Structure 1
Amino acid sequence: MSLVSSLAIYFVIWWIILFAILPIGVVTQEEAGEVSPGTVSSAPMRPQLLRKALITTAVAAVVFAAFYWLKVYSGMTLDDLPFKPPSSR
């Protein structure tokens, strides 16, 4: 696996995990009781984006390491996965 394809796969994994982690621990302005003028009440009070980016990076690294191990060291390919045979009509 080349460096460019590895980086592309890591980026896709990172992006998917980011969207899974973003809503965790969000407190809206309405829930906190402090709605700032000119903002929507559903806007987050403190989104903690740096913390979530670091968590995303760590989780994505673990997922990518598992993927890399499966791809390179185990020799597993898509042909090894059980697929449903095509239906015969």
Structure 2
Amino acid sequence: MAQSETKERIVRFVTRHVGVEIQTDQAIFEQGLVDSMFAMQLVQFLERKFAIQIGAEDLDMANFASVDAMADLIARKQGTEAVRQ
């Protein structure tokens, strides 16, 4: 899956939760758009939708700070090079 499609899927999921359109580089936690309760839903969504396992070592806020960061994490977990599109 192209990283642009990965980002689109994450944006749709987060947008449904927060009720406003977000940008891929937007700091969703830092800006208070989402909280720690949503973080668990987000991890489950990413694991299910992208067939990855997110381990304790991946639970660094930097990996979830933005859609771009999550897409990079997914690319690493899937063993593909993260190329920003």
Same topology, TM > 0.5:
no
TM-score calculated relative to the size of structure 2: 0.35
TM-score, normalised to structure 1's length?
A: 0.34
Rg bigger for which structure?
1
